[in-house]
Amino acid sequence: MLAAEQLRVRAAVRAFVLSAINVMNLGDDDDLFESGLANSLFAIQLMTFIEKSFGIEVGVDDLDIENFKSLNATTAFVMSKRAQLRSDAS
């Protein structure tokens, strides 16, 4: 179940990134910021997308480029926050 959820999250993040950035090939671990594909404005847009799409809050403590630098990093961040929400609800 978690693997399927992870695939859905990654697909949604990929679709958002590709809609915002003109790039032909994007690997799951490609660093969006180091490569120059994304900037700080995109980071804000990505965080807003994450909050709205996945029902999680990106807090001040989460504002680390490592959480958002690639598709895999962003997916891991979302999965971690969702697991935390499930845990808090229990």
Give CA–CA dist 47/34, Å, rounded.
18
Instruction: Tell me if 78 sits within 8 A of 9, measured CB to CB.
Output: yes
Reply yes or no on whether the pLDDT at 1 is more than 80.
Answer: no
Q: What is the pLDDT of residues 42-88, one digit of tens each?
A: 999 999 999 999 999 999 999 999 999 999 999 999 999 999 988 88
- The CATH fold of domain 2-85: 1.10.1200
Q: What is the mean pLDDT of residues 22-46?
A: 94
Which element (helix H / strand E) includes 22? none
Give CA–CA dist 31/13, Å, rounded.
14
Residue 41: pLDDT band by 50, 70, 90 thresholds?
very high
